[in-house]
Amino acid sequence: MSLLSEVVTVLLNGLQQGAIYALLAVGLSIILGTLKFVNFAHGALYVIGTYTGLLVAHEVRLGGKLQQWGYSPIGLDWGFMAALVVVPLFVFVVGLAMERFIARPFYDRPDTDQILVTFGLAIIVQEAFRILFGSSSLPFDQPAWASGPVALPIVGNFSQWRLYVIAITAVLVLIVYVLVEYTDFGLVVRAGTRDAEMVRLLGIKITRPYIVVFGIGAALAGVAGVVGGPLNVVNPTVGTDILVPAFLTVVIGGVGSIVGAVLGGVLFGLTTATLVAFAPAWQQIGLYAIAAVILLTRPQGLLGN
């Protein structure tokens, strides 16, 4: 493999990894920037999306209590396209319930209280999946229509699914950006962020757009779980593993900035891919080092106000 081919391959791998980070970070950013709520259970939504997508798309053999109760193998086996439709809707509803019963009572509480309650919820979800599905990693097969390599100029053979992940992320992020920046709904949300009391005085019930924002952020985490499932192991700890990079992506991009979340995700993805290819032992250190440098030079993040 020539140097140019290797560089372009690393670039594409970085964009794919950055796409997963960006999907999670955009959801986190709009929740944190709009509702001022620190959601440490966002990784749990990723886990819910991954397992739900796996069970919708395939039939799988499980461990844990479900196997003991006679529910293995289990799954709808509807295919991957069905998972891409069902999972966002399901996790959106989960997000609505989380906002109503968990987040809303803590909006006026300190950040530490929000972190404790959502981190506790994340641990509960993780342990619930471990008990029900077992601790072993489960295979999440790529969709048949996107499996195998595709021939690209310079690079040669490259995974089709990685390209699909980049494309799906780009479409979803663009839709969310247009919704927040160019619609009446987005105008109400942004106005509520700046002066919620004034919005209420104008006769607008601000809790309604807030709950929808939380649901959208949750749905994006669910989609990230579905598209990322075939590229990573599926086990109850994947949400915890990806949560810290997702939060760092939000912080370095700028809290509340969708473009910043995407930029941070791409930067982290490219860093991860480069270090995996050339210095795998420095992968985690490199991410934290970049975050530290950016926050020391620009504490509000790359595109933060």
11-33 pLDDT, tens per residue? 999 999 999 999 999 999 888 88
- Using an 8 Å Cβ cutoff, are 269 and 19 in contact? yes
The stretch 38-59 carries a mean pLDDT of 95
Question: Can you give the pLDDT at residue 98?
Answer: 95
Q: What is the pLDDT of residues 72-92, one digit of tens each?
A: 889 999 999 999 999 999 999
Residue 258 to residue 245: CA distance in whole angstroms: 16
Question: In this structure, what is the dihedral angle of CA atoms 74, 79, 82, 83, given to the nearest 10 degrees?
Answer: 60
Give Cα 27 distance to the centre of its chain: 7
CB atoms within 10 A of CB 269: 24
Q: 285: pLDDT confidence band, cut at 50, 70 and 90? A: confident
Structure confidence at residue 199 as a pLDDT band (50, 70, 90): confident
Whether 45 shows a pLDDT value over 80: the answer reads yes
Is pLDDT above 60 for 1?
no
Bigger pLDDT: 240 or 89?
Answer: 89
> Is the distance from CB of 74 to CB of 55 less than 8 angstroms?
yes
Report how far residue 65's alpha carbon sits from residue 292's, in angstroms, rounded to the nearest whole number.
43
CB-CB neighbours of 298 under 10 Å: 13
Give residue 255's pLDDT.
Answer: 85
Cα 102 to Cα 82, 97, 192, 208, 216, distances in angstroms: 29, 8, 20, 16, 16
The whole-angstrom separation of Cα 252 and Cα 122 is: 23
CA dihedral sign of residues 222, 224, 228, 232: negative
Q: What is the 3-state secondary structure (H, E, C) of the chain?
A: CCHHHHHHHHHHHHHHHHHHHHHHHHHHHHHHHHHCCCCCCHHHHHHHHHHHHHHHHCCECCCHHHHHCCCCCECCCCCHHHHHHHHHHHHHHHHHHHHHHHHHHHCCCCHHHHHHHHHHHHHHHHHHHHHHHCCCCECCCCCHHHCCEEEECCCEEEEHHHHHHHHHHHHHHHHHHHHHHHCHHHHHHHHHHHCHHHHHHCCCCCHHHHHHHHHHHHHHHHHHHHHHHHHCCECCCHHHHHHHHHHHHHHHHCCCCHHHHHHHHHHHHHHHHHHHHHCHHHHHHHHHHHHHHHHHHCCCCCCCC
